Structure 1
């Protein structure tokens, strides 16, 4: 990973990073042991101390939910481990609820000027959840960490493992940076670690995600919106087993106008994945609407990816419903450039827009993608393409 990129990210966005504050008081937490719940002492320390240290070699047992919102100038030096006790009945009933896509979370962290670092581990103890979800698809599974109404936050140099569902949910955040974070969600049974997105960005502005390694079972990064998500830079990621860098899904909820704009994803390695660079939107009766504008996917290197380049305006919608009720999400000013590698089928790029000029100013440049046999097919519909790779697609049907 290219850690030297971080100053460029600061310059790109003009971010004011949170830095570790001068300590008014420093607290070091040690596990209570014997299965006791360390949540109350952790919450008390975060409220009272400028710097909270979890020492290397120690493991806090987090058995009840963590509300550490409204903080100012806090530094969590996570050198050891915080492990969330997999008490499924407790968390299903008591995880903090978020109405968007019916989520719950172990931990909400919010406020101003917050740093989380230290080289330690957040352990979601997800295996029990992966197994339980296989027989109960309605089971609510917790997000490991939710940044809620947080401004000037830096999360860096930590490990996150085995989240029950999404690893990180950035909800109504501003000036949030993740740097040098390593994720791993790996099931040890036949039941996969599903829906384990690395990051989901929602109603947030000015977010940087950089220099990180993700091995998971869903989107590497997803821009999920209800209202507005803007000004996001994703750079230098290594994603394995994921569903891609995904804008969307958009237009899911009736009466809601989604906006995602000003997003750059660059220098991404994607391997053994379902998708690479993707935009997805719902169609059909009774869905919402929205706008996707000014999105750049650049410098992707892909290996064994099912769908390396995708626009899908018929996401999880039948073909008949798509034709009768086209997507109400308008997609414009999109650039796919310098994308190379291999797909798992001969179709290496599929740009499928709804009729009615829903997609405009879509530029495709410098694609060097092949299928497993060396053959490459490029498909598109209802889109006017520009760029030097547009000839690869042939004539798109534009209605």
Structure 2
């Protein structure tokens, strides 16, 4: 696995000359660089046009672009977006529900798609999804289609760095059919200001993608900090601070009949996880009518956790009751997994249980290593408990789990 080098530096801007346009949005130095200013209306079309025509597009620090229509920036080559100000999507729910870019996978829509080759988004600015109206609406209608804040689609050699991502209605980042993608210094906040929580606000969802690296980022949200969906290979998610999330998740996998899901070569190290449902987690469906797949060569290390319901989890009977899981074991095999150097405390939600490795029978899990585990429940629940079934565990902390026979 290799890290991605930064793309070429942004071209220096010469003294600007005004370019007349119907919206009056673009000032240009030459064919290589453009500066955008807000029009007072929908800035989406001129933003898309500028990125198609100019090698570098700058949104100045005091500028907020109001985006009222979907932005399809796919098929680009050698482009830089220097986002110093804010790109803010309107809260016109009716428009977005009917006009968001649709993805069949898990029935998703998106505000903004960026794709192509050799792309860079940077600058210290913000992308704002106006999420509060969506959080409130979803509380009374859980079938509501909500837009993904930012989607990298059919892209290669992309760097996204030093960007704030705010108030996403649902998933924050979706990497779909990407290769060689780097996220560095991303600050995510998706937090409701009402009694209605911000749900399904995953920090990253990775799907059908290879060599994706996520580093040095802060995530404050209401679902997975990072989630590896089917066919994610050679992924790094490290040096992260996650608050309020559902953890660093492999899966869920094996949901759809006739589909074979793969997650291979995943490393997650130096993660701080607080006030979360899960810490490090692998989840796969079992039961009748599900799919198949493999999880292989996964390493979780140096996790520091506080107030986490389930700090360390394999769940190979995800969303499946024990009877059905025994009768119809998961067809997603889990192999070569390492959990090492885990520290901190659970929330007590599972009483004294701080780690659970629950596999389907018939050898569906193999080569699971657990070492240097120092997890404790709140003092009220006494000593830590470690539970497992249907798995042979190695490593210097294997003794914590005791008997892992079929139950």
- Give the TM-score band, short-chain normalised: over 0.9
Say which of 361, 385, 400 aligns to 1:355: 361
- Counterpart in 1 of 2:144? 139
Q: Specify every segment of 5 or more residues in structure 2 that has no aligned partner in the other structure, as ranges.
A: 13-30
- Counterpart in 2 of 1:337? 340
State the 1:18 CA deviation: 2.4
State the distance in 2 between where 1:308 and 1:118 align: 35
Matches within 5 A, 1:4-153: 13-20=2-9, 22=11, 24-33=31-40, 36-153=41-158
Larger Rg: 2
Partner of 1:313, secondary structure, is strand
- Counterpart in 1 of 2:242? 239
State the distance in 1 between where 2:328 and 2:97 align: 36
Cα deviation, 1:10-60, whole Å, max 9, x if unaligned, reads xx5153432335475211110101xx1001110100100000001101110
Q: How many residues align?
A: 384
- Counterpart in 1 of 2:290? 287
Cα deviation, 1:84-118, whole Å, max 9, x if unaligned, reads 00111111111000011001000110000000000
State the 1:318 CA deviation: 2.1
Cα deviation, 1:218-256, whole Å, max 9, x if unaligned, reads 00000011xx21101111000000000000000011100
Compute the TM-score of the two structures, normalised by the length of structure 1: 0.95
State the distance in 2 between where 1:272 and 1:375 align: 21
Partner of 1:115, secondary structure, is strand
2:380 counterpart of 1:370: no
Compute the TM-score of the two structures, normalised by the length of structure 2: 0.93
State the 1:322 CA deviation: 1.3
Partner of 1:367, secondary structure, is strand
State the distance in 1 between where 2:320 and 2:92 align: 36
State the distance in 2 between where 1:201 and 1:360 align: 25
State the distance in 2 between where 1:198 and 1:120 align: 17
2:395 counterpart of 1:387: yes
Say which of 258, 267, 272 aligns to 2:270: 267
Cα deviation, 1:113-142, whole Å, max 9, x if unaligned, reads 000000000000000000011111110000
**RMSD, matched Cα:** 1.1
Partner of 1:191, secondary structure, is coil
- Counterpart in 1 of 2:17? none
2:222 counterpart of 1:214: no
State the distance in 2 between where 1:284 and 1:105 align: 31
- Counterpart in 2 of 1:276? 279
State the 1:272 CA deviation: 0.2
Paired residues of 2:4 and 2:182 also in contact (CA < 8 A): no
State the distance in 1 between where 2:218 and 2:11 align: 31
State the distance in 2 between where 1:58 and 1:356 align: 59
Q: Specify every segment of 5 or more residues in structure 1 that has no aligned partner in the other structure, as ranges.
A: 1-11
Structure 1: 4+ residue segments shifted above 6 A: none
- Counterpart in 1 of 2:313? 310
Partner of 2:219, secondary structure, is strand
Partner of 2:193, secondary structure, is coil
State the 1:398 CA deviation: 4.4
Partner of 1:192, secondary structure, is coil
Paired residues of 1:383 and 1:396 also in contact (CA < 8 A): yes
Paired residues of 1:16 and 1:175 also in contact (CA < 8 A): no
Query: Which shows bigger deviation, 19-28 or 230-239?
Result: 19-28
State the distance in 2 between where 1:138 and 1:230 align: 31
Partner of 1:304, secondary structure, is strand
State the distance in 2 between where 1:118 and 1:106 align: 20
Partner of 1:129, secondary structure, is helix
State the distance in 2 between where 1:149 and 1:84 align: 23
